[in-house]
Amino acid sequence: MSWEVFIDALAWLFVLSGSFFLFIGSLGMVRLKDFWARIHAASIIDSAGAGLLLFGMMLGTGFSLITVKLVLIVLFLAITGPTASHAVVNAAFSIGSRPKDLLEDATEGVVELPEWMQQKSEKPEVVTKRKKASGAKKPTTRNRKPAAKKGTK
C-alpha cells in the first residue's frame, strides 16, 4: 500500500465522516422539538461537520496554497461558529425562552430551578419607551442599572 493511496483513503474517511455529521446535524435541526434541543444539532454542524469536511479537503488536495486557505476557513469557522451560536442562545434566553421539558419538570417538582433560570413572563411584552427631550430622570435602557443603584444610595 503506497503512501498516496493511504492519504487518499484517509481523505475519503474524513469526508465521509464529515458528511455524516453534517447530515445528522441537519436532520436534528428538522426533527428535534425544541429550540434548545435544536441548537445542539446546529453546533454539531458547525464544529464536527465543517471541521471534518474541511480537513478531508485538505488531505484530498495535497499541500499547496489551497491548504493555507482551507486552514484559514477552519480557523474562522472555529472562532465565529460557537460565537454565533452563543449569541443566538443568549438572545433567546434574555427574551424569556426556556426549555419546555425543564419547565414542566420544575412545575411537577422534579427539579428545582435556580433563580436566574426561572421564566419571568410567559410572553415578554414589546414596550415602547420614550426618552423625554429635557433630560428627565427616566433611566434609559442602557444605563438603567447604574442609575437605579445610584438612586438607592
Restricting to residues 91-120, name those near other proteins by CB under 8 A. Answer: 91-92, 94-97, 120
Cα–Cα distance, 114 to 17 (Å, whole number): 39
Q: Under a CB-based contact definition with an 8 Å cutoff, are residues 54 and 73 in contact?
A: yes
If binding is defined by CB under 8 A, does position 152 make contact with other proteins? yes
If binding is defined by CB under 8 A, does position 128 make contact with other proteins? yes
DSSP 21: H
Cell numbers for 105, please give them. 419538570
Cα–Cα distance, 51 to 43 (Å, whole number): 12
If binding is defined by CB under 8 A, does position 35 make contact with other proteins? yes
If binding is defined by CB under 8 A, does position 37 make contact with other proteins? no
If binding is defined by CB under 8 A, does position 139 make contact with other proteins? yes
The residue assigned the cell 486557505 is 69
Interaxial angle between packed helices 65-94 and 35-44, expressed in degrees from 0 to 180 and rounded to the nearest 10: 170
Q: What's the closest the beta carbon of residue 26 comes to other proteins, in angstroms?
A: 4
If binding is defined by CB under 8 A, does position 134 make contact with other proteins? no
Q: What's the closest the beta carbon of residue 31 comes to other proteins, in angstroms?
A: 9
The residue assigned the cell 478531508 is 56
Binding residue for other proteins, selected from 5, 114, 115, 129, defined by CB under 8 A: 129
Q: What's the closest the beta carbon of residue 112 comes to other proteins, in angstroms?
A: 22
